[in-house]
Structure 1
């Protein structure tokens, strides 16, 4: 089952790049600039009068797959299934859950602090890089 689910994630990533890339004004791919563009895309969707935050499972699947693939590309991590669902295992051993974050932004928006771009930056530049670990020398 995991292989089929991973293939579905990869298909979602391809779909996101194929469909969103031409709409964007950035060099769209598995990079931070594209994550920032997708964050704006989510916010623009949320503003539409026909937006239903309960009917977003397909969008969560595609955009969560894309966000996770961006994390994998930036950190060298990998997809892993946990009891909480699919996440990205980061080099420091922690797991980031891109599907959960996309759903939260779709439901609550950046004005409530749910930003996939911030999630990406913290995961890549701080957690995966080991910069959030306590400095052992600080206790001396």
Structure 2
């Protein structure tokens, strides 16, 4: 079952690149610039008059797969499934990022509600995967991710 789910995630990543790349004005791929564009795409979907947060399950799957693949590509991490938390990206420091949950939260609450996949990406790549967040916490000062 895990292998089939992993293949579905990989197919979702390809679908996101194939379908969203031509719509974007960036060099679309597994990079930060594309994550930022997808964040705007989510916000544009949310602003549509016919937007229904209960009807975006397929988009959450595609965009969550894409976000996770971007994080994995930037950090050297990889997909990992646990019985308790489902699919996430296992980062080199042993922590995990859960891109599907973050995409779902941004669809639900939006950037104005504090949910940003671009910020999530930057924190995962620049702080958590590098160990800088742990160093900051152990030093007793600085930002804390929740």
Deviation at 1:134, TM superposition (A): 3.2
Q: How does 1:110-121 map to 2 (within 5 A)?
A: 110-121=111-122
Q: Tell me what 1:98 maps to.
A: 99
User: So what's the TM-score if we normalise by structure 2?
Assistant: 0.92
Q: Tell me what 1:15 maps to.
A: 15
Q: Tell me what 2:144 maps to.
A: none
Tell me the secondary structure at the aligned position of residue 133 of structure 1. helix
Q: Tell me what 1:70 maps to.
A: 70
CA distance 1:53–1:90, shift in 2 (3 Å): same
Is 1:126 matched up with 2:127?
Answer: yes
Please, which runs of 5 or more residues in structure 1 have no aligned partner? Answer: none
Tell me the secondary structure at the aligned position of residue 54 of structure 2. coil
Is 1:53 matched up with 2:67?
Answer: no
User: So what's the TM-score if we normalise by structure 1?
Assistant: 0.96
1:40-64 superposed Cα distances (whole Å, 9 cap, x missing partner): 0000000001110011110000000
Please, which runs of 5 or more residues in structure 2 have no aligned partner? Answer: 141-146
Q: Please, what is the CA RMSD of the aligned residues?
A: 1.5
| Number of positions where the alignment pairs a residue of Structure 1 with one of Structure 2 | 139
Deviation at 1:84, TM superposition (A): 1.1
Q: After TM superposition, where is structure 1 displaced by more than 3 Å over at least 4 residues in a row?
A: 134-139
